[in-house]
A and B are shown apart, each in its own frame.
Chain A
Amino acid sequence: MISTYMQMIALLEISISAAVIFIWLLQKLVPGEITFAMRILLLFILGNLLFWPLGMSMQLPLAAYVRGVTGDLSLVTLLLLWSSILPKSKATPIGVKVAIGLIAILFYPAALGLGMTDPYAWGYGSLVLLIFVLIFAVICGLANWAKGVWILAFAIMAWSVHWHESSNLWDYVLDPFLAVWAIYSIFYALYRKRREKAQSGYLFRAG
């Protein structure tokens, strides 16, 4: 059932994700806040532009060209990205970003060929990896970030029903874009903290 619509679902996900990123960029460029209603309208228009074949010299919808580069995004990335468009969207805790960054730094070199141990292979059916993801989700909940519990639960569920082409749990909970975002966010947070500290030091420095 899912396999019949797998390609269409994937294109729809990419269309929505690309539209959300465009809205986020637009928000950075324009003064003032784009209202929620306007965001939804933009999402609808851009999502449709990306999803449907536009003809001309293109053989595929725009989303298919994006997908050629990005592949399918993890459920965690999709849901974090999409939830950012909602009003009163709670920011991801820095602790979660640090955890994602650390896992990515350990995971990718090993998964891409460093040594004979391949952690990516655990994603095909390792109970240990599943328990690890569940514990991570429980910690998110205990740290008062219920959104993280929902997102990881959806990701685990999607893997169970083979929602994407991948049958590997890692592809549902982590991708390189999520890793880059997490690591960038950590450094940006550190930079901001240092700047704030420097500014407060300047303000209160003895004359």
Chain B
Amino acid sequence: MSRVIAFCFLMLAAVLAYLHIDRQPAWAPFEMVNLANEVTEDATETTETIPQTQKTHKASKNVAPSKPPIAQPQSNWLPDTGAASVHAASLIALKEGGGVRAFWFAGSREGAKDVVINSAVFDPQSARWSAPTVVIDRLRAQQDLSRYIAKLGNPVPARMTNGQMQLFFVTVSIGGWAGSSISTVISDDEGLTWGPAKRLITSPFINLSTLVKSPTIQFSDGRLGLPAYHEWIGRFGEFLRLDADKVIDKRRMSSGRGAIQPVVFVADEQLASAFFRQTRSSSQIKQIPVSQTQNAGQSWSVGQDLEIPNPNSAIAALTLNNGVRLMVLNNIESGRHRLVMLMSQSQSNIWNVVQVLEDDEALPHDQRKEYSYPYLITADGSDAHLVYTWHRKKILHQYFSSAWIKQSMSKEAP
């Protein structure tokens, strides 16, 4: 008799589970921004001259010397919090005023218990950063998440379809970064205040070892795709499909121990390429691993490497509204002492260096600094904001206006 009752209860559970599966939203295509095929047109229309910045690799072709030069890329330090170590800055465009909000983590050292996630707002009118605020610290995170939290890491902001700002960040309870999990907070007021932290469950082994570093992708149904990665037994990329603070699906982007921190370039509603930071063994080639999807991220296949050197360091990626793609990375095989911006004006994966941002190649090894963890966004679809870690001591913000980008395009145009 008890067995019959048990089977009846199982049947009830099966019905509930079926209804739950039936409610799951279908996988949607990628949301496309207004990509206009204006690349060539824009490039030829440009008459302004490019500034003689540090070391632009290709010589200017269409320089009109009689015109006034456009502004250099603007550089600003993110506000100093007094912390000895800062790292992993990221950005999001504010809804109004053309400003951007930055997030980064700061503390006595990376992985220390006193590390907090800071934030500040850049005002484009005054070209200044506001005073820094603390978004979350370890103690608040562990209160919200009802578990011990040892340290905080990489913050990545996103815009939800209802206009709320969402911040993903890494928390660790045990061990090093391999023991990471992703948590998230949501703000109704553009990052001034934040709701309670929630945890994303992404791994079957005590939810260990999922991290985030790269911007989200939007699906046409308003949901977000979050490129994430594991770095414990395996080092590989994963694509999380989110419904607010809940993971509703995930797909593997690569396997093995050689590719983390994916950045995704969406080409159309179904097609996208992911470029990775390589973490291969010393005997293997130090280039950018690539994966591709042809069904909006439902499945990924590993492609041929992008033949740009990568010294096991993060890449930043951005697609502008006119289809031009930008990347910022360390294009060397070891060290992080050289940081460059690359541009591609087509889907052909031909990338040219348009700006050398930092280069300590000429300095002795012990005097070279580390320039790492770049993060790119656009505020209006035609410009670019870049932040990156400057020798772990500061975060540098650089602004590239649409005029500067157009000029770079004209120089790169065939």
- Contacting A125 at CB < 8 Å: which of B10, B199, B248? B248
Whole-angstrom distance from the CB of A37 to the nearest CB of chain B?
A: 25
Residues of chain A contacted by B174 (CB below 8 angstroms): 68-69
Residues of chain B contacted by A171 (CB below 8 angstroms): 201, 204
Closest to B243 in A: A167
In the complex, A26→B103 CA distance in Å? Answer: 49
18 contacts between A and B (CB under 8 A): A59-B139, A59-B142, A68-B173, A69-B206, A71-B207, A111-B204, A112-B230, A112-B233, A116-B252, A120-B203, A134-B10, A149-B9, A150-B6, A150-B9, A157-B13, A167-B248, A168-B247, A175-B206
Judge if A114 is at the interface, Cβ distance under 8 Å. Answer: yes
Whole-angstrom distance from the CB of B294 to the nearest CB of chain A?
A: 15
Judge if A70 is at the interface, Cβ distance under 8 Å. Answer: yes
- Contacting B14 at CB < 8 Å: which of A112, A123, A134? A134
Whole-angstrom distance from the CB of B397 to the nearest CB of chain A?
A: 35
Closest to B239 in A: A121
**Size of interface on A: residues with Cβ below 8 Å to B:** 59
Residues of chain A contacted by B232 (CB below 8 angstroms): 112
- Contacting A152 at CB < 8 Å: which of B10, B21, B139, B206? B10
Contacts A113-B256, A153-B9 given; indicate if A165 touches B198 (C-beta within 8 A): yes
Q: Are B148 and A156 in contact (CB under 8 A)?
A: no
Whole-angstrom distance from the CB of B256 to the nearest CB of chain A?
A: 7
Residues of chain B contacted by A64 (CB below 8 angstroms): 142, 146-148
* Chain B interface residues (CB < 8 Å from chain A): 2-3, 6-7, 9-10, 12-14, 16-21, 24, 139, 142-143, 145-150, 173-174, 198-199, 201, 203-207, 230, 232-236, 238, 246-252, 254-257, 300-302
Judge if A67 is at the interface, Cβ distance under 8 Å. Answer: yes
- Contacting B206 at CB < 8 Å: which of A71, A111, A125, A149? A71
Residues of chain A contacted by B13 (CB below 8 angstroms): 152-154, 156-157, 160
Residues of chain B contacted by A117 (CB below 8 angstroms): 252
Closest to A162 in B: B246
Residues of chain A contacted by B234 (CB below 8 angstroms): 112-114
Q: Are A60 and B236 in contact (CB under 8 A)?
A: no
Closest to A158 in B: B13
Q: Are B10 and A149 in contact (CB under 8 A)?
A: yes
Binary flags per residue of A44-59, CB closer than 8 Å to B gives 1, else 0: 0000000000000001
Residues of chain B contacted by A123 (CB below 8 angstroms): 204
Q: Tell which of A59, A107, A144 has the most Cβ of chain B within 10 Å.
A: A59
Residues of chain B contacted by A118 (CB below 8 angstroms): 238, 250-252
Residues of chain B contacted by A127 (CB below 8 angstroms): 18, 21
Residues of chain B contacted by A160 (CB below 8 angstroms): 13, 16-17, 19-20
Q: Are B148 and A65 in contact (CB under 8 A)?
A: yes
Whole-angstrom distance from the CB of B247 to the nearest CB of chain A?
A: 6
Contacts A108-B204, A112-B205 given; indicate if A60 touches B148 (C-beta within 8 A): yes
In the complex, A115→B252 CA distance in Å? Answer: 9
In the complex, A21→B285 CA distance in Å? Answer: 50
In the complex, A167→B148 CA distance in Å? Answer: 22
Residues of chain A contacted by B173 (CB below 8 angstroms): 68-69
Closest to B235 in A: A113
Q: Are A176 and B233 in contact (CB under 8 A)?
A: no
Q: Are B16 and A161 in contact (CB under 8 A)?
A: yes
